[in-house]
Amino acid sequence: MDLILFLIFAAIALVCAVNVVVQTHPISSAVSLIGVMGSLAILYLLLGAEFLAAAQVIVYAGAVMVLFVFVIMLLNAGKESSKGQSFTVQLLGVPVLIALLGLLAFFARQMAPPEAMVHFGGFRGGTPRAVGHALFTTFLLPFEATSVLILIAIIGAVVLARKEMD
């Protein structure tokens, strides 16, 4: 059951991620990215990260992607032109990427002990209660720093998106 769920949602995530890269229209990429984020939320649930799964759907699939789609609509972004592609990139791009993937997969195998198995309910520490407790005790300073960061981001976004640029 766990294996089937993992395979289904890993396949959805991979297909959607490939679609993000190969689609020429930004709105298709954005919709595919929502697919990636949704299936990652299911995988988080499988790993016992309940709070994070909810936050993934609300923050990423909800807020961030709405912002993206809004900007795509606002700027009326169309298909991107494929002219003027670099010859070196066409020649070396895919091999170099496969090498990068191979390197990352090699380190993933090194880091994960082969006997480590994941099953649903194997880790129950990811509840909102546990996450909130850690957030307001161990991680209090990063939490406060984050609130300042968000404030700066809000001010920055407002200043950048003003109508008159001085």
Partner 1 sequence: MAQVPASWFLMLSAALFALGVAGFLFRRNIITVFMSIELMLNAVNLSFVAFAYQHKGPGGVDGHLYAFFVMVVAAAEAAVGLAIILTVFKNRGTLNIDEVDSMKN
For partner 1, the binding residues in 120-139 under the rule CB under 8 A are 122-123, 125-126, 130-131, 134-135, 138-139
Q: Does 141 bind partner 1 (CB under 8 A)?
A: no
Q: Does 60 bind partner 1 (CB under 8 A)?
A: yes
Residue 77: its H or E element: none
Q: Which of 35, 54, 55, 57 binds partner 1 (CB under 8 A)?
A: 55
Sign of CA dihedral 134, 139, 140, 144: negative
Q: Does 92 bind partner 1 (CB under 8 A)?
A: no
Q: Does 67 bind partner 1 (CB under 8 A)?
A: yes
The b-or-e profile of 131-145 (16+ CB within 10 A means b, else e) is beeeeeeeeeeeeee
Q: Does 42 bind partner 1 (CB under 8 A)?
A: no
CA 4 – CA 10 distance, rounded (Å): 10
CA 126 – CA 123 distance, rounded (Å): 7
Tell which positions 16-35 bind partner 1, by CB under 8 A.
Answer: 17-18, 20-21, 26, 29-30, 33
Min dist CB 128 to partner 1, Å, is 10
What is the Rg, in whole angstroms, of the alpha carbon atoms belonging to the chain?
20
Q: Which of 35, 87, 140, 154 binds partner 1 (CB under 8 A)?
A: 154
Nearer to partner 1, 87 or 161 (CB): 161
Q: Does 91 bind partner 1 (CB under 8 A)?
A: no
Q: Does 72 bind partner 1 (CB under 8 A)?
A: yes
Q: Does 59 bind partner 1 (CB under 8 A)?
A: yes
Count CB atoms within 10 A of the CB of residue 34: 20
CA 5 – CA 40 distance, rounded (Å): 12
